[in-house]
Amino acid sequence: MRDQPSVREAFALLVAGPTASGKSALALGLAERLGGVVINTDSMQVYAGLAVLTAQPPPGEQAQVPHRLYGERDPAEAASVAWWRGRALEEMQAARAAGRLPILCGGTGLYFRALVEGLVEIPPIPEEARAEARGLLAAEGPAALHARLLAADPGTAARLRPTDSQRLARAWEVWRGTGRGLADWLARSGSESGTGPARLPDGTPWRFAALRIDPPREALRHAIGLRWEAMLKAGAVEEVRALLARRLDPALPAMRAHGVPEVSAMLAGRWDLAEAGRRACLAIGQYTKRQATWFRHQALAAPSETHTIHARVTGMEQFSESELREIFAFVC
């Protein structure tokens, strides 16, 4: 059992894992039993108008316990890691002041890492560098931009996939706009140029414990298929149609949320609904594999402060009494 948090200590629980692993169900159950506030830690669930496709907790669940940072950001405005971190810290502090346990729930590893370890502050990027990055991406595609980055900033390029257009453009603009690569800036995290680990305004450091869900691949594939069918019934196509009607920049993160590109292609007549679903589930499955790998190899908390659940979580009722005692002993 972990040491009990002191009265003064700022303690928060992290519930992390890949898409469709059951994070929201676990966080809800824990929040009900422990008097918690669930704080979104998913980069897509911050956007309004995508409640179905990003699998935000439904209104009924959000009414059971306080939920924060779900559907808060307009899709026309990209949500940065720095914006999320600032808002998350505000909500964590508010929860603590109200005598509630902050429970950060999601699958975006970068958000968790920025919260726990700190976030480097990169100087403002000149508009010329941003325009150049967007122009190269549009004219040459992500693979060619990755090749350019490999020659100019190999340390950063090695961290990025040649298909990750958003992060490639960001890496290019940082290199062009500051004269230093993104990997070099990130290496300074925690120094005088970074925000440092999460603290209260009075300097008290936050202490984190992590529940990591790591279900078998087959269980995730099955859950992804079921979730997709449920999303279609709940209005996923209508969500995409409304999003497209706004004629937003296709490079915005919300326009690349899981299911949006595939349903968009279906609405444009390139695929039928079955093919859109097949491609969407395949893309989600590939993403969950990367998520699971990241969470297995990145420490969100100290080993003694991390507990792994090797099953998909469908609700607190699935756990035996002994398992529940183990989980509560770990958290409390």
Binding residues for substrate: 19-24
C-alpha distances out from residue 36 to 32, 235, 274, 311, 325, Å: 7, 30, 40, 23, 18
DSSP 305: G
90: which residues sit within 8 A by CB, 6+ positions away?
A: none
Q: DSSP secondary structure string, 159-171?
A: TS-TT-HHHHHHH
Residue positions in the annotated binding site for ATP?
Answer: 17-24
Q: DSSP secondary structure string, 139-156?
A: HH-HHHHHHHHHHH-HHH
Residue positions in the annotated binding site?
Answer: 17-24
Taking the CB of residue 100, how many other CB atoms lie within 10 A of it? 17
Check: CB of residue 97 under 8 Å from CB of residue 206.
no
268: which residues sit within 8 A by CB, 6+ positions away?
A: none
Q: DSSP secondary structure string, 272-293?
A: -HHHHHHHHHHHHHHHHHHHHH
Instruction: Return d(Cα 120, Cα 130) in angstroms, integer.
Output: 19
